[in-house]
A and B are shown apart, each in its own frame.
Chain A
Amino acid sequence: MPAPIAFTLNGKPVRLDVDGDRALLWVLRTELGLTGTKFGCGEGHCGACTVLVDNIASRSCLLKVRDVSRKEVTTVEGLARDGQLHPLQKAFLKHEALQCGFCTPGMLLTGAAFLRTHPQPTRAEIIQGLEQNLCRCGTHQRILQAMETAAAEMKGGV
């Protein structure tokens, strides 16, 4: 049954009357109008729906909207700050690390969360960090390069 749920979305407070059992993915894509978060598989296998919940990469197709109550949610639309692209977004552009772009939001958020906890990652660690995100166009090599570039630029900061 609809009930008020409040959380922070891309830095701004949000208060909604929704059924708390609904998947965060669909609430984001419909009521909240943020369609950058993609539906890819609906079962948590592909990672296209990844968002950050309190800076942890989470599959929004499996999360109930009540699970993010009073938490901080970041979607791809909130990754850039004050018109400045996140270093990983810049690195994706620099390395041409996307094709169809459908997996890109999930890759960026998974990658950004990973870089917060792994400021100086090895290639092997990056691979493990992104292993559960699927890209069908086969842009993996460039995404790995972009991750390394962003890690070097961020030097542990955001």
Chain B
Amino acid sequence: MNTPNYLALDFTDLKEPPALSRRDFLARLGTGIVIFVSFGDLASAQESGRRGGRGGGVPADFNAFLRIGEDGRATCFTGKIEMGQGPITSLPQMLAEELDLPLEAVDIVMGDTDLCPWDMGTFGSMTTRFFGPALRAAAAEARAVLLELAAESLKVPTDQLMAKDGAVIDQKDPARRLTYGQLAKGRRIERHLEQKPPLKDVSAFRVIGKPVNRRDGRDKVTGKAQYAGDLRLPGMLYAKIVRPPAHGAKLKSVNTDSCQQVAGALVVREGDLVAVLHALPDAAEAALAKVKAEFEMPAPSTDDKTIFEHLLKLSPQARVVAEGGDLDAGRKLAVKTFENTYLNSYVAHAALETHTALAQVEGEKATVWASTQSPFSAQREIAEAIGFPVKNVRVITPFVGGGFGGKNQNSQAVEAARLAKAVGKPVQVCRTRAEEFFYDTFRPAAIVKIRSGVDDAGNMVCWDYTVYYAGERGSQQFYSVPHHRTVARPSGWNGPPGSHPFATGPWRAPANNTNTFARESQIDLMAAAAGVDPVAFRLQNLKDPKMVRVLKAAAERFGWTPAKAPSKRGYGVACGTDAGTHVAAIAEVAVDAKKGTVQVKRVVCAQDMGTVINPLGAKVQMEGCITMGLGYALTEEVHFRDGQVLDTNFDTYEIPRFSWVPQIETVLIDSREAAQGGGEPAIIVMGALIANAIHDATGARLLQLPMTPERIRAALQAT
């Protein structure tokens, strides 16, 4: 199940924006050699092509492209953005590899809708899997073009030439060589080869597969790296916006007269949007505090405790994800059956950088610098909001200070553009932390119900699985169970109207954190009931060779010795697949039974992600997943009541700190298969990993995330 079919679920409203002409586009790039790859050329389509949406800022037949300039440097253009996950390094690695160019000679332009090919957005761990092959194809094509040009120039057959370190060399007379810069000089060449050159074989890699440090590291440790909030334009104003106290609250009246007490404050009212603007951000905030706004509060609804009951009542539309055998027959084969309900609360993205944008409207053209994971979606939303044609809106994405799925929501960019248009000056919108929590598209609260059974030999014989509200990603059963059914209600992360009291959306490995928590907890309690070691039980019920391999690799590195749980050692194990990648992790925890607290002491995580582009970047992502995952496992849940989000800052919404972090060891499986996702997979195991380790330490079974001290103490009492 490697196809990212969950994508289609929540992006059905995407419209194809109009394309620029090829001539307009080339004029932007200047001289040099420009390589286009059209969608139809690619066996492995980028997601944009798969959905039939190309174009945007670029002509409709370009899918990935690059340019070689007269200086011999190559530039990669990508609609992907850099939010810490590392494509600023890994994409140039792929390009350098196929183009036979030193990595240092590769530049990258990211997330600029005027310069980059249309892209759906940076999410789903798809950059390496889907954009990567397109980029490599473009680079291989560029290399073939350079060989052709050199053959014409040197008057030798192409097969007598070789490309190396940014130059084409005559193999019979190595003194005869032309650098890529010389070949590009004074030309404007647009090539599109009929005969597709093959991609390099793994055995020929010299850049791919080598650990490379982040290319933005120096700028980020010296404060030079610019994020959306760091940009300054002459005459710019900072906007602070009147916000409702609760979701569903309606503005009854607003009085902005007192704002005038702050010299220089400018009030803008545009329908529902009431904002105070000032040349200084803190003065804008001071002026906003003087606004008297009255809201009609929404009727009492749900809170973070009653939400599960409310959600189950609605019973959203079901989709059968997978089905096989006959569940009734399976139940009859079982000697032990298990029925459990798993819960998880709403979780916030809580990136350190809040949503920020700077917009400038000049005549009929708008330019918006935004912290966004989806610049092309932002472009369309902005165009609609200010009534401009899409091609007149340019979105530029500076460095993004963390996204995790949350920056696919672009309301701050739309607000900045509306205000900039209204006042005729550049306007910055930077959310406060309270606004960031309030407008976050939370990971949905979710429920999973599982009925499963094992026979007397410890084989899983039936598996009846329903996930409510999380979505179906990661719900597919990869253990061998003859009689099974997996249902998702609904299939995506947006519930039906009236379900969630606020927006929900994709959160790092959407749905999979919930599904893996439920599945791997259920597997574990079946193993314990069968009296079988949890690693052995999994291996007995696994036929997927990749999963077997990663689990064995994790167990070996950890130094696992078989024991029936609870062994009192505090060891836990969990497996999962996400974005085409297989993950297995083993943890050791210590539980303070009196306080109900958990210290995770060690996590070993093994991952098979196919060909690894940058092993250093991959390991950093795995460590990041494991560390971030401690939060949703142990503390993170959004508190709310009647549409009010009660968490407004990091004092009540606790994210992982240094003292929580275990010793983390990562293992990458050596593979020559196609590269898979790396930004999300390792986070999916964290809920079950810790729940299973708590069970092993204490015998208490936690069925709800996060596993707060209160819930742990309650589970211990029930044991």
Contacts and interface: CB of A to CB of B under 8 A. Distances in A.
Contact of A75 (B216, B223, B400, B659): B223
A38 interface: yes
B218 interface: yes
B220 A104 contact: yes
8 contacts: A26-B281, A35-B230, A40-B354, A46-B352, A100-B351, A130-B658, A131-B659, A140-B656
B222 A76 contact: yes
3 closest cross-chain pairs (CB), A and B: A36-B223, A138-B627, A100-B84
Contact of B353 (A102, A131, A143): A102
A142 B214 CA distance: 14
Interface residues of A, number: 56
Interface in A15-64: 22-23, 26, 29-30, 33-43, 45-46, 48
A137 B650 contact: no
A102 B229 CA distance: 11
B223 A100 contact: no
A96 B217 contact: yes
B86 A99 contact: yes
Nearest to A124: B659
B224 interface: yes
Contact of A105 (B86, B223, B280, B651): B223
Contact of A45 (B86, B400, B620, B650): B650
Contact of A141 (B219, B232, B404, B623): B623
Contacts of B627: 138-141
Interface residues of B, number: 56
Contacts of B232: 33
A139 B620 contact: yes
Contacts of A136: 350-352, 402, 404, 628, 655
A158 interface: no
Interface string A97-123: 011111111001000000000000000
Contacts of B655: 134, 136
A135 interface: yes
B275 to A, nearest CB: 18
B45 to A, nearest CB: 29
B85 interface: yes
B352 A100 contact: yes
A17 to B, nearest CB: 13
A98 B616 CA distance: 12
Interface of A: 22-23, 26, 29-30, 33-43, 45-46, 48, 75-77, 79-80, 85, 89, 92-93, 96, 98-105, 108, 126-128, 130-144
B657 A134 contact: yes
Contacts of A127: 658-659
B718 interface: no
Given A93-B213, A137-B84, A143-B658, 5 more contacts: A99-B84, A100-B402, A127-B658, A136-B628, A144-B661
A105 B353 CA distance: 13
A100 B217 contact: no
Nearest to B434: A42
A142 B620 contact: yes
A89 B656 contact: no
B225 interface: yes
A92 B351 CA distance: 20
A22 B719 CA distance: 55
A104 B659 CA distance: 18
A101 B657 contact: no
A116 B281 CA distance: 34
Contact of B352 (A131, A132, A134): A134
Contacts of B218: 93
Interface in B645-689: 649-651, 655-659, 661, 663-664
Contact of A101 (B84, B282, B659): B84
B433 interface: yes
Contacts of A22: 280, 282
A41 B351 CA distance: 10
Contacts of A45: 649-651
Contact of B401 (A34, A43, A102, A108): A102
A138 B280 contact: no
Nearest to A100: B84
A37 B370 CA distance: 19
A128 B280 CA distance: 35
Contacts of A48: 352
B226 interface: yes
A137 B624 contact: yes
Contacts of A77: 222-224
Contact of A26 (B223, B282, B432): B282
B308 interface: no
A102 B352 contact: yes
A30 B236 CA distance: 11
Given A45-B650, A136-B351, A85 B658 contact: no
B282 to A, nearest CB: 4
Contacts of B350: 136
Contacts of A96: 213-214, 217, 616, 620
B658 A131 contact: yes
Contacts of A133: 658
Contacts of B86: 99
A124 to B, nearest CB: 9
Contact of A100 (B83, B224, B433): B83
A144 B229 CA distance: 28
Contact of A41 (B229, B399, B433): B433
Interface string B216-256: 11111111111101101000000000000000000000000
B373 to A, nearest CB: 12
Interface string B123-158: 000000000000000000000000000000000000
